Amino acid sequence: MTIDKVDTKNKIQDVAERLIVQGGYGAFSFRDIAEEVGIKSASVHYHYPTKGDLAAAVMVRYTEVFSRRLPDPNDETLNPNTMLNGFIDGFKAKIVDHHNMSLCTMLTADKHRLPEAVSTALADFYQVKLEWLTQVFMRFEPSLEDQAKIQSIQFLAALHGASVLVQATDNAEFFEKAMSCWRKAHI
Amino acid sequence: MTIDKVDTKNKIQDVAERLIVQGGYGAFSFRDIAEEVGIKSASVHYHYPTKGDLAAAVMVRYTEVFSRRLPDPNDETLNPNTMLNGFIDGFKAKIVDHHNMSLCTMLTADKHRLPEAVSTALADFYQVKLEWLTQVFMRFEPSLEDQAKIQSIQFLAALHGASVLVQATDNAEFFEKAMSCWRKAHI
DNA sequence: TTTCACCTACCAAGTGATAGATAGATTATT
DNA sequence: AATAATCTATCTATCACTTGGTAGGTGAAA
């Protein structure tokens, strides 16, 4: 695979990701993407035969990039509270501050009309997040895995719910208020 | 306004509401609605000139019906914990158990392409919920309105976030786990 | 006779997807 | 080294279909 091809594929995914974030699965079209990338829509089909292929690729890449950025939850030099705060801050900076909802929330809303490859990639992404959070919460009570799992669910629900509230009401203050119970003193 | 007209308008709203819940703002078309109601798409336009008019009407009706069903938060014969549990149960029965997300979450995801009337109606709906919840939380500590407001935000975020998690992963257990910290003993 | 609630018949724009052509690069064969 | 075959990434052109919306007609009710 040539550099050019990788480049074009990445550009296509970049635009697709942005359009999905802005309007969901229904709001990105091969023509819109083609125009922004500077090719024709048939060429987008060359790289990603169907809409589902492209959306699934975007979701998979998103998960990979996301995973790579997460610190090792068992790194003893890192305070678990610092990691949780970082997780919240990252979400806020990337999503809430841009007056958007996350790629995964957008695709979740479109679940009913998602090709299977996309909803599988979507479920995988949530699994990655929950597993990481569980590891972090276990740092507080290493013996209580079940409790850590429940905490990770509550934490993630709060985060996503907070972004819904902010987006629906245009009131950014709701974010910190919703997350305040999870923000604890750290180093 | 004749009974017939009211009837048709209601039927149109019923179908529109269901289609929005299933696929968001982009997933309901005048033709689909017309077919289910048993009229032609031009006739749907007769009742609701534009798509935005119809969606706004659906959102307003939804808020009205919802408000009417809420018990008086200051009714001394009702335990506030019972009311909170009822709120959670109602959400679960209407939305989560049907493998759907709520009308408001779906429209929130489409916020960027919503006509203004719709997003106004949407924000109003969240306001209604937050105000009711605040009243209920104040029953515990009548003097701490600010704390009650924050609790209502956290509660609502948890509820909406929980439904996102369930929908994305197809794992219904996440709902009760996410809400467990809000379910308290009552009568 | 006017209003109501519906109709038929459109329109322009946009959708995902396909067929087939082409210029240039790569690879295989002589 | 020269030629032939193949592959790559793009193009043009088009298909069948859906979308929100409109113009103008029709029969029944007020």
* Cβ separation A167–B108 shorter than 8 A: yes
Out of A23, A127, A156, closest to residue B110 by CB: A23
Residue with tokens 């993407």: A33
Q: Is the pLDDT of residue B167 over 90?
A: yes
| pLDDT-flagged residues of chain A (< 50) | 1
**Which residue type, as a one-letter code, is found at position B186?**
H
Q: Is the pLDDT of residue B187 over 60?
A: no
Distance of B48 CA from C15 C1′ (whole Å): 25
Closest CA to B164 of B155, B154, B174, B152: B174
Tell me, yes or no, if A117 comes closer than 8 A to chain B by beta carbon: no
* pLDDT for res B3: 53
CATH topology for B3-182 is Tetracycline Repressor; domain 2 (1.10.357)
Q: How many CB atoms lie within 10 A of CB A30?
A: 19
* pLDDT for res A38: 95
What value does the mean pLDDT of chain B take? 95
* pLDDT for res B184: 81
DSSP per-residue string spanning chain A? --HHHHHHHHHHHHHHHHHHHHH-GGG--HHHHHHHHTS-HHHHHHHSSSHHHHHHHHHHHHHHHHHHHSPPTT-TTS-HHHHHHHHHHHHHHHTGGGT---HHHHHHHTGGG--HHHHHHHHHHHHHHHHHHHHHHHTTSTT-HHHHHHHHHHHHHHHHHHHHHHHHHT-THHHHHHHGGG-----
Tell me, yes or no, if A157 comes closer than 8 A to chain B by beta carbon: yes
* pLDDT for res B18: 97
CA B23 to chain A, closest CA, distance in angstroms equals 6
Angle between helices B116-138 and B145-169 (to 10 degrees): 120
Q: Which nucleotide is nearest to A38 (CA to C1')?
A: D10
* pLDDT for res B60: 97
Q: Reduced to 3 states, what is the DSSP secondary structure of residue B74?
A: coil
CA angle B150, B156, B161 (to 5 degrees): 125
Q: Which of A4-13, B55-64, B131-140, B160-169 has the lowest mean pLDDT?
A: A4-13
Question: Looking at per-residue confidence, does A1 or B100 come out higher?
Answer: B100
* pLDDT for res A4: 60
Q: Could you give the CA distance from residue A83 to residue A56 in angstroms, rounded to a whole number?
A: 28
Chain B residues whose beta carbon lies within 8 Å of the beta carbon of residue A160: 160-161, 164-165
* Section B147-155 average pLDDT: 98
* pLDDT for res B1: 52
Decide: B21 and B101 in contact? Cβ < 8 Å. yes
Tell me, yes or no, if A181 comes closer than 8 A to chain B by beta carbon: yes
The B 6-45 residues near strand D by Cβ under 7 Å are: 28-32, 41-42, 45
**Which residue type, as a one-letter code, is found at position A110?**
D
The A 47-106 residues near strand D by Cβ under 7 Å are: 47
* Section B82-100 average pLDDT: 96
Decide: A162 and A175 in contact? Cβ < 8 Å. yes
* pLDDT for res B64: 97
* Cβ separation A180–B26 shorter than 8 A: no
Decide: B110 and B26 in contact? Cβ < 8 Å. yes
Decide: B99 and B167 in contact? Cβ < 8 Å. yes
* Section B100-128 average pLDDT: 97
User: How distant, in Å, are the alpha carbons of A63, A121, A145, B34, B71 from that of A128?
Assistant: 8, 11, 16, 43, 40
* Section B90-100 average pLDDT: 96
Out of B108, B125, B161, closest to residue A156 by CB: B161
Q: Could you give the CA distance from residue B115 to residue A160 in angstroms, rounded to a whole number?
A: 24
Q: Could you give the CA distance from residue A161 to residue A155 in angstroms, rounded to a whole number?
A: 10
* pLDDT for res A7: 86
DSSP at B75: -
Is there contact between A74 and strand C, defined as CB under 7 Å from any strand atom?
no
Is there contact between A42 and strand D, defined as CB under 7 Å from any strand atom?
yes
